[in-house]
Amino acid sequence: MDNQSTKESLVHPFPKEAEHHNTEGEMLPYKKVAMIFVITIVIGILSGFVVQYVASAFGSKTTTAQKTTEKKSVKEAVGIPDKKTFKDSAEGELVEGGSEGEGSFHLERPGGESQNVYLTSSTVDMSEYIGSQVRVHGETFESDKVGWLMDVGYIEILE
């Protein structure tokens, strides 16, 4: 056998009339294909809703905790209540002392020392509120020595 006859026996052309037929000569089940396509789309949409529902159910716990934090009553507020200028806020126990020369005070928050917010202010005398639970509003500044340094413009003393 030569090379040419081997190639001819391995490669066969498809007849044109068989393009839209299955092996038994019947038309391909387009209705079945369309139905599978529609079912796949519906299952995809439903699974998206399920994922969103589950995610919101777990996320709602965080939202509830945030709302609880925001609902703490404010006993006293001091400073400039300009939330456009003082966009950043943090909450915790006000303690005297900065770190490595950054800040005069800091907020102790859950999670340990890495979560502290170091504070400075030319607007508010924070020394009156040492040991109190507070919410501060201010502007964050870049710092090489501490994780979070804020210039406080407004302080809320919480009950």
Could you state, in chain order, the average pLDDT of each consecutive group of 10 residues for the chain (159 residues)?
Answer: 57 57 61 90 92 74 46 82 86 90 90 89 89 92 88 90
Residue 68: per-residue pLDDT:
46
Q: What is the per-residue pLDDT for 119?
A: 93
Closest CA to 91 of 135, 123, 157, 132: 135
* Parallel/antiparallel/unpaired status of strands 74-79 and 149-158: antiparallel
pLDDT of 12 reads: 65
What is the structure's pLDDT at 145? 86
The confidence score (pLDDT) of residue 114 equals 85
Contact 136, 152 (CB under 8 A): yes
Residue 115: name the closest of 124, 123, 106 by CA: 106
Query: Alpha-carbon distance 80 to 123, whole Å?
Result: 8
Instruction: Quote the pLDDT of residue 61.
Output: 47
DSSP lists the bridge partners of residue 79 as 154
- Could you tell me how far CA 96 lies from the centroid of its own chain? 33
Which pLDDT score, from 0 to 100, does residue 25 have?
Answer: 54
Tokens describing residue 103: 């800040």
